[in-house]
A and B are shown apart, each in its own frame.
Chain A
Amino acid sequence: MAWSREQLAQRAAKELRDGYYVNLGIGIPTLVANYIPAGMEVTLQSENGMLGMGPFPYEDEVDPDLINAGKQTITALAKTSYFSSADSFAMIRGGHIDLSILGAMEVSERGDLANWMVPGKMVKGMGGAMDLVAGVRKVVVVMEHNSKDGASKLLKTCTLPLTGVGVVDLAITDLGVFAIDKHGAAPMRLIECADGVSVEEIKAKTEAAFVAALG
């Protein structure tokens, strides 16, 4: 069985470590915040200018000056700090954030990422994604393994305009988990399969080359 959205978020949460500063993208990555293991301290950064992001507010706590990068109302914690967009991207680009989890349209076997633009469609923009993948120490993407018509989204070479070249460390798809050496020294490795999914099934559904390195 392929992993559900919630299971993808749970699997991505296993990449968290105590003391990490983490930036979560919009969509499934946001759900990762619900699976931070008990007893683990993780500080969430929001690139619009906040470190130490709390949960969504109760109705009577809603504050229009306090939003996350998805423009959702949010709350602060005791440890929260606020700063400008320039300082925020100094954290991101300067390598001070430990982990970024974001969505992907395509990933190549060398760790190239495409997640912001489909030619011919209205392009909304890259937001902070290019800065995040260029600067954050570890980049994890959460994605569907195949498009609706069955095409592999793990490719030898991305077909869509790139967000970054050689930037992805780990790709978590609904079929399995792939570790990527973004310096290109070793091939992409399949390190985990979703429950009940075989290596053969993944091979059949994947264009990118990989070696199975389970367990």
Chain B
Amino acid sequence: MANKVFADPRSALTGLTHDGMTVMSGGFGLCGIPENLIIALRQTGVQGITVISNNAGVDGWGLGLLLETKQIKKMISSYVGENKEFARQYLAGELELEFNPQGTLAERCRAGGAGIAGFYTKTGVGTLVAEGKETKLFNGETYVLETGLIADLAIVKAWKGDKEGNLIYRETARNFNPMMATAGKKCVAEVEILVETGELDPDAIHTPGIFVDRIVKGDFEKRIEQRTVRQRSTTTRENA
């Protein structure tokens, strides 16, 4: 059994990067992003990357770090509103952008990883995102053909992992990570807690180790975009 465990994020990317490559990067906003592997990708200096990620980070963090160094050629995303450098590069024509509806993006990754070349969805029918795409009637309703996505490399973040590459995510930090893990020709996972094989409950594993080529324990900042709190003095209704 080949060893999947790497000592640090930089070495975990050794031999997996090349100019013009496509990278899937998990996370929603800054929640559940592979923050250590993004920094390591920046350190490789690899250029002309197409990044598939729901969002584009913020200035100075997450994928914003790769925008700063102009390593990203194109983004495939559903929402990119939190990043001034992104807007600047896009408006200056330095950065290509392909918007996908969020559910379509998730399903494109799921399909790609599952060997499904394309699927029909109602999402986006009659809008800009359906332009130039094949449509088909099913039960009297129009659906648009969307294709599966595969990347040269997927970088994902999980809460716990074992030496086999089995992964468990935590709360809403799961998001795009499980599908992207399946859709990378190579997948590198970073985890908060790395345990011995056998220590995870097999019934609780979200991503089986077959999808994960390399695993590395990271140190995490876990930045928060919108820290929103309530005060104990006020009465707030629980949406129960």
Contacts and interface: CB of A to CB of B under 8 A. Distances in A.
Interface of A: 33-34, 36, 41-42, 44, 46-50, 53-59, 62-74, 76-79, 82-86, 88-89, 92-93, 112, 117, 122-131, 134-135, 161-165
B170 A85 contact: no
Interface of B: 28-32, 54, 77-82, 87, 90-91, 99, 101-107, 109-110, 121-129, 159, 169-179, 206, 222-232, 236-240
Given A123-B99, A125-B79, A134-B125, A55 B238 contact: yes
Contacts of B222: 64-65
B101 A131 contact: yes
B175 A49 contact: yes
Given A54-B239, A56-B230, A134-B123, A84 B174 contact: yes
A57 B127 CA distance: 38
Given A65-B222, A131-B103, A134-B121, A73 B229 contact: yes
A92 B104 CA distance: 11
Contacts of A83: 174
A30 B129 CA distance: 27
Nearest to B170: A65
B174 A82 contact: yes
Contacts of A130: 101, 103-104, 123-124, 127, 129
Contacts of A77: 238-240
Given A125-B79, A128-B102, A135 B123 contact: yes
Which interface residue of B80, B87, B102, B173 has the most chain A CB atoms within 10 A? B102
7 contacts: A46-B172, A55-B238, A73-B229, A83-B174, A125-B99, A126-B79, A135-B103
Given A93-B123, A124-B81, A134-B122, A66 B172 contact: yes
Contacts of B231: 58
A117 B90 CA distance: 15
B237 A86 contact: no
Contacts of B81: 124-125
A93 B172 contact: no
Contact of B29 (A71, A74, A84, A112): A71
B106 A127 contact: no
